Structure 1
């Protein structure tokens, strides 16, 4: 028989182990202890992609408007906050997976980011933050000849 309490417990354990693997995979982007947030962070999915020129952070926040977001960079920490969303009047949810509360996600950036060239846009429920890399600070792999 399905019991919500059992499902929630096992999903929390799984999410905890996934975050550890995720952090190790993106060590170049995150410092120790990041990402961090106010407890609702795990409910707001984030994808991070990288190419030679920039990092792309995508926050999936369907049902929100662009004026509900605040994106800041202070002391090499990218902070993305979302304000609480009000439910539609007259609707009483009997089951709800989408969190409408306020959230905060924060990521410690590497020094190779050009802070002055950070751009954010919101389209189709996805907030995208582009973090341009500084080519002068990128350490490219180098082959060492064997003698």
Structure 2
């Protein structure tokens, strides 16, 4: 029978458990305290939210998995550089809160998507339902033309 090791095995191990328990979390916290939470190298440290992008005849749809977050914390904008930015500002948490095990770390995040002129930016809509943020981006018919095949002579 195959025996999988879990994080509980490492945390209860006398050699590794006491020294390395929550090592990643402590390291990320210290970097964030020293250099700020928005340092470029921190983008992959647990706050990047998964996003799917769908396309149909008339629109692109971004669904961003954001369970447990408050709708009021989101800010969505399209910049002059044709970039859609989704930001979330987490509410302040109680300092000094101790966990015996933590897999979920709520926090602020930012995701950006380059639109490349393919979207009618003045018609973008968003909704938040069942832990998923939905952003609907209507296609710009002038820039979303089907590819044309070129014959070779």
Total equivalences in the alignment: 117
Distance 2:148 2:76 in 1: 36
* Helix, strand or coil at the partner of 1:43: coil
**Which 10-residue stretch deviates more, 64-73 or 91-100?**
91-100
TM-fit CA distance, 1:98: 2.4
**Which structure has the larger Rg?**
2
- Find 2:72's aligned residue among 67, 75, 88: 67
The aligned residue for residue 24 of structure 1 is none
Retained in 2: the 8 A contact 1:37–1:105? no
Retained in 1: the 8 A contact 2:46–2:105? no
* Helix, strand or coil at the partner of 2:116: coil
Shift in CA distance, 141/111, structure 1 to aligned 2, threshold 3 Å: same
The aligned runs of 1:35-114 (5 Å cut-off) are 39=43, 43-75=48-80, 76-85=82-91, 92-114=98-120
**Which 10-residue stretch deviates more, 37-46 or 109-118?**
37-46
- Find 1:115's aligned residue among 118, 121, 130: 121
Structure 1 runs not aligned, ≥5 long: 10-35
Distance 1:59 1:37 in 2: 22
TM-fit CA distance, 1:97: 2.5
TM-fit CA distance, 1:142: 2.1
* Superposition TM-score, scaled by structure 2 size: 0.63
* Superposition TM-score, scaled by structure 1 size: 0.65
* Helix, strand or coil at the partner of 1:129: strand
Retained in 1: the 8 A contact 2:48–2:111? no
Shift in CA distance, 93/138, structure 1 to aligned 2, threshold 3 Å: same
TM-fit CA distance, 1:136: 2.0
Structure 1 runs, 4 residues or longer, greater than 3 Å off: 1-5, 40-43, 85-88, 143-147
**Which 10-residue stretch deviates more, 36-45 or 119-128?**
36-45
